[in-house]
Amino acid sequence: MNFSLFKLHPQIAAGVKALGYHTPTPIQLQAIPPVMQGLDVMGLAQTGTGKTAAFVLPILERLLSGPRGKVRALIIAPTRELAEQIHAAIGELGRGTQVRSVTIYGGVSVNPQVQKLRAGVEIVVACPGRLLDHINQKKIDLKHLEVLVLDEADRMLDMGFYDDIAEIVASTPATRQTLLFSATFPEAIEQIGASMQRKPSRVSVAATHTSTKIEQLFYEVSGNGKRLAALVALLGHYHPASCVIFCNTKQQCREIVATLQGKGYSALALHGDLEQRDRDQVLVRFSNKSCSILVATDVAARGIDIPGISHVINFDAPRQAED
Ligand code: AMP
């Protein structure tokens, strides 16, 4: 089974080939055909399943014909990092198409975003809050929107974006195609789907990491001080090449980083209090391996795709199993 199955335009097939994708993943096999037919799709899929290409490829295919310079596809994602990652995937898969995308999120200056919108784009990848600002200030025109994607929908609900999303959706044409991807399907997601989609095709894939060879270990440690000592001991034992440590609070992040830096580790913190510039910088340094330990709150729990991570340590048990 390979990508020729989908009869992608040669310009898009070239992007797939350049990325080295040979076989479609299960979510791509299930979702691409109905999305290409223009149907609404509700997909149960986690990060790592290849869901980004499952919606990006059909969107690129659609945008090859029809007008340029109008916002015809809108992808809404919970975090700026995920938005940047989707934007990068569009750039890579669509390298031969001249389709333009822009990211819109808060924490950075509005002007470059407005300038790019004015210059003309076909795809907008956005986080809800800033997008709504642009809509309210009439800086973005969604009249021509054909496809709306809600990515990591459950996460967006958890982050309190429901009202913003409802308002954004209300400003898009009712004729749009609506795709919704979520790692879980609580009742609230079902309701969102029912209110925003028309007879969606349902596709779902099991989490890939349940079937992989990741070794999982559980250490029972009581008390914060002891946990820090246990963490230091584990790092000394495993010498991870590239490690993410998750904890539940920003304060905890800062404490762990201070402790690890004090022991000579190259550790950096990633949490919501940092300026966007600093968050980007931290991710670049972690990705290019100039920092070996990333200590993060759940801003990084989903949607971040960094190759070569050898160890993940949950310093705190995550609040939700999917995280
Ligand atoms: P996603 O779940 O969309 O974040 O994708 C996870 C990772 O899988 C990304 O690094 C993608 O580039 C990669 N990927 C997506 N589809 C395929 C495919 N068909 N073959 C190989 N890698 C893929």
pLDDT one-digit tens code per residue, 127-157 = 999 999 999 999 999 999 999 999 999 999 9
Q: Give residue for tokens 């029912």.
A: 194
Q: How confident is the model at residue 209 (pLDDT cuts 50, 70, 90)?
A: low
Q: Whose CA is nearest to atom 11 of ligand 1?
A: 50
- For a substitution probing ligand 1, which of 305, 306, 309 has the most ligand atoms within 8 Å of its CB? 305
Give me ligand 1 centre to Cα 36, in Å: 19
On the question of pLDDT at 105 being above 90, the answer is: yes
Give me ligand 1 centre to Cα 22, in Å: 11
Question: Which ligand 1 atom minimizes the distance to the CA of 19?
Answer: 12
Q: Whose CA is nearest to atom 14 of ligand 1?
A: 50
Question: Which ligand 1 atom minimizes the distance to the CA of 307?
Answer: 10
Mean pLDDT of 253-282: 91
Assess whether the C-beta atom of 48 lies below 6 angstroms from ligand 1.
yes
The pTM of the full predicted model, rounded to 2 decimals, is 0.77
Q: What is the pLDDT of residue 298?
A: 80
On the question of pLDDT at 90 being above 90, the answer is: yes
Question: Which ligand 1 atom minimizes the distance to the CA of 85?
Answer: 4
Q: Give residue for tokens 């609070």.
A: 249
Assess whether the C-beta atom of 25 lies below 6 angstroms from ligand 1.
yes
Name the percent of the chain lying above pLDDT 70: 95
Give me ligand 1 centre to Cα 28, in Å: 10
Q: What is the pLDDT of residue 202?
A: 94
C-alpha torsion angle, residues 227, 229, 234, 237 (rounded to 10): -170
Are 126 and 107 contacting, i.e. CB atoms less than 8 angstroms apart?
no
Give me ligand 1 centre to Cα 18, in Å: 13
Query: Quick one: which of 202, 281, 280 has its CA closest to 42?
Result: 202
On the question of pLDDT at 213 being above 90, the answer is: no
Q: What is the pLDDT of residue 224?
A: 67
Scored b (16 or more CB within 10 A) or e, 13-23 reads: bebbeeeebee
Are 86 and 155 contacting, i.e. CB atoms less than 8 angstroms apart?
no
- For a substitution probing ligand 1, which of 21, 90, 93 has the most ligand atoms within 8 Å of its CB? 21
Assess whether the C-beta atom of 53 lies below 6 angstroms from ligand 1.
yes
Query: Quick one: which of 147, 128, 146 has its CA closest to 77?
Result: 128
Q: What is the pLDDT of residue 302?
A: 65
Question: Which ligand 1 atom minimizes the distance to the CA of 22?
Answer: 20
Extended beta strands in the chain, E state: 41-44, 73-76, 101-104, 123-126, 147-150, 177-182, 201-204, 243-246, 267-270, 293-296, 311-314
Mean pLDDT of 178-182: 96
Query: Quick one: which of 303, 295, 297 has its CA closest to 318?
Result: 297
Mean pLDDT of 22-34: 95
On the question of pLDDT at 276 being above 60, the answer is: yes
Burial class of residue 175, CB neighbours in 10 A (0-12, 13-18, 19+): exposed
Residue 161 to residue 299: CA distance in whole angstroms: 15
